[in-house]
Amino acid sequence: MIFFIVIANLLLVTYHYICSMHEEILSTLFHQYFKEHCDTIIQLPQAGSDRIYFRLQGKNHAAIGTYGKDTRENETFIHHTKHFHQKFIAVPEVYCISDDKQYYLQQDLGEISLYSIIKQEGISSNVIAYLKEVLQQLTYLQIRGAEHFNFETCYPIQAFNRSSMFWDLNSFKYYFARVARVHFSEIKLNEDFHTLSNYLLEETNQYFMFRDCQSRNVMIHDGKPYFIDYQGGRKGPLQYDAASLLWQAGAKIPYAVREELFDFYTKKVAALIYVNKETFKERYHAIVLIRMLQVLGAYGFRGLIEKRSHFIESIQPALENVKWFLENIQLKIELPELTNVLQQLIVSDVFTVHKIDASQTSLKIDINSFSYKRGIPSDASGNGGGFVFDCRGLHNPGRYEPYKALTGKDKPVIEFLESQSKVKVFLENIYKVVDVNIQNYIERDFEHLQINFGCTGGQHRSVYCAEQIAKYIKEKYNITVHIKHIERELQGQFI
């Protein structure tokens, strides 16, 4: 046991050493380029890639610092960015790159993505206006951006060809369909994959295909949309990016609005090049299908294999897209075995998150954050029991000057914990433990449960964890939750 603890501590020390090394190199780049010192550097939460991002801030300048060990991918991003800048396309400016091409600084476009606006507003008139602006800019990126573009620089694949399609189709088959244990004929499914690919290869394939044009990859800066994360782009058909944007599972754009927006997009394309609108839309629906399969394959790998919670949560909305597609869209080609697989998936309960409607329960849940210096909170209900979770094993942001006056509800602290500690794994295990008691208490008509999170000062880690468990319980059970940050209240800071 001691051996494993020593190994875990060594890994943690190594992780922090590597992060410090990244910060030092990026801070040096910042000083060399802007001719001023970097006052603060904060690691940002990691998304779907292996790249690591930092926000750097000096007295007069700010930048996003990136570490990517794949130098070829970095070179691709920088090439694409310089080309698009020459075309006056809204992408972030790349300021400088390290000699080894593993680090670079780019323009800080802020923290507001189109996806964050969608989550806050839903598909409002404001969001639809943004989507139309994105689609209009997208046509320019795809068509004008492809002019004099060196597609040989695209990495890892230069074109949306049969090889590219089968990479996605096989990812869907092995990372998703196999995991769901659906029954299918390998030979017949492979025949359908070839039928779909042959049909898609009939579409004009000479434009810049963003590849992952979704609302998370559109930042809103000074009221204007900017594209990011297009380094996986390649030569391909126009409709793929429209499908990526309009059929993004998490955005939940109403289907009628999707059709309206695709018609808007088609008109903007037709203003730049000639298109047969009927054929253009027919092929669009087939591209929607292969995009949905690609997404499910990615969710299977990132979520079910790598255990990233965001991707797991996205599976059910993605399957709802598939269900609507099967019920409403008729393709010009027959795909019997693929249709069979998809029909099994949409009725499978393997990926279903079962939510309990606890709106009628008398159960009340008290959640506390506290400092171990003052001791564990008592249970005023008289029931005793409940949970006490020790957060002191998580990396403490309170040790660093920029975070000392902040709390676990402040964005910089949240970003620190989510990127530089194991807090997500910590909480995911707690959710499983707490679920057992909540479900049992509901069944037995219990009236009270207390959940406590403690850390050294009761300010950062415990506050963050208390807020997260409260959010989780509200969303899953619709139970009345009372949250109290004891140390903050004792200090007169009611957060």
**pLDDT tens track for 314-368:** 899 999 999 999 999 999 999 999 999 999 999 987 776 545 555 567 889 999 9
Which of 316, 347, 378 is where one domain is finished? 347
- What is residue 480's predicted lDDT score, i.e. its pLDDT? 79
pLDDT for residue 362: 82
Are 310 and 372 contained in the same domain? no
Residues 6+ positions from 98 with CB-CB distance below 8 Å? 25, 29, 104
pLDDT of residue 353: 53
- Is residue 314 in a domain? yes
In a domain, 353, yes or no: no
Structural contact between residues 104 and 97, judged by C-beta atoms closer than 8 angstroms:
yes
Residues forming beta bridges with residue 451, ordered by sequence position: 367, 387
Angle at 495 between CA 464 and CA 381, to 5 degrees: 80
Alpha-carbon span 236 to 163, nearest angstrom: 13
**Residue 157 corresponds to which tokens in the numbers above?**
């694949």
- Which CATH number characterizes residue 38's domain? 3.30.200
Query: Residue 302 has what pLDDT?
Result: 85
| Interatomic CA distance for residues 461 and 453, integer angstroms | 8
Q: pTM score, two decimals?
A: 0.77
**Alpha-carbon gap, residue 156 to 233, rounded angstroms:** 9
pLDDT of 298 = 93
Residues pairing with 390 in the sheet: 454
Considering the domain boundaries, does residue 222 fall inside one?
A: yes
- Classified as helix, coil or strand, 65 is strand
The dihedral region occupied by 36, where left means phi > 0, alpha psi between -120 and 50, and beta the remainder, is: beta
Pairing state between β 234-236 and 448-455 = unpaired
197 shares its domain with 298: yes
- Report CA-CA distances (Å) from 484 to 362, 365, 459, 490: 20, 11, 12, 11
* Confidence (pLDDT) at 6: 41
Task: Specify if 93 maps to a domain.
Answer: yes
- Whether 327 and 385 share a structural domain: no
Q: Do 214 and 255 reside in the same domain of the chain?
A: yes
- Please check whether residues 303 and 433 belong to one and the same domain: no
Radius of gyration of the chain (CA): 25
Q: Is the residue at 249 inside a domain?
A: yes
CA distances from 358 to 123, 180, 361, 364, 431 (A): 28, 29, 5, 11, 17
Domain count, the chain: 3
Distance of alpha carbon 267 from alpha carbon 277, whole angstroms: 9
Question: Distance between CA 59 and CA 31 in Å, rounded?
Answer: 11
- Given strand 94-97, what is the order of strands in its sheet? 38-43, 52-58, 62-67, 103-106, 94-97
Q: What is the pLDDT of residue 16?
A: 53
Q: Do 193 and 335 belong to one domain?
A: yes
Whether 182 and 198 map to the same domain: the answer is: yes
d(CA 70, CA 242): 28
| Chain mean position to CA 170 | 22
138/281 same-domain check: yes
**Segments of the chain scoring below 50 in pLDDT:** 1-15, 354, 494-495
Left (φ > 0), alpha (ψ -120 to 50) or beta: where does 35 sit? left
Question: How many alpha carbons lie under 13 Å from residue 162 in its C-beta half-sphere?
Answer: 8
Crossing angle of the two packed helices 277-299 and 186-200, in degrees rounded to 10: 140
Domain boundary among 286, 318, 347: 347
| Nearest one of 253, 237, 254, 236 to 245, comparing CA atoms | 253
Please report, as a single letter, which amino acid is at residue 37. Answer: H
Same-domain status, 331 and 368? no
Maximum Cα–Cα distance for the chain, whole Å? 75
409 & 270 share domain:
no
Q: Are residues 283 and 161 in the same domain?
A: yes
Domain end residue (candidates: 347, 373, 394): 347
Only one residue has tokens 């994105």, namely: 134
In which domain, by residue range, is 387 found? 364-490
Quick one: pLDDT at residue 478?
79
Per-residue confidence (pLDDT) for residue 5, from 0 to 100 = 38
Q: Is 357 within the bounds of a domain?
A: no
pLDDT score of 200? 97
Structural domain contains residue 358 = no
Q: What is the dihedral of CA 438, 444, 446, 450, to 10 degrees?
A: -30
Whether 95 and 189 map to the same domain: the answer is no
CA dist., res. 402 & res. 384, Å (int): 38
CATH number, domain at 196? Answer: 3.90.1200.10
Please report whether residue 376 resides in a domain. yes
What separation in angstroms does the CA of 50 have from each of 53, 73, 213, 483?
Answer: 10, 11, 19, 35
Is residue 333 a contact partner of residue 196, using CB atoms and an 8 Å limit? yes
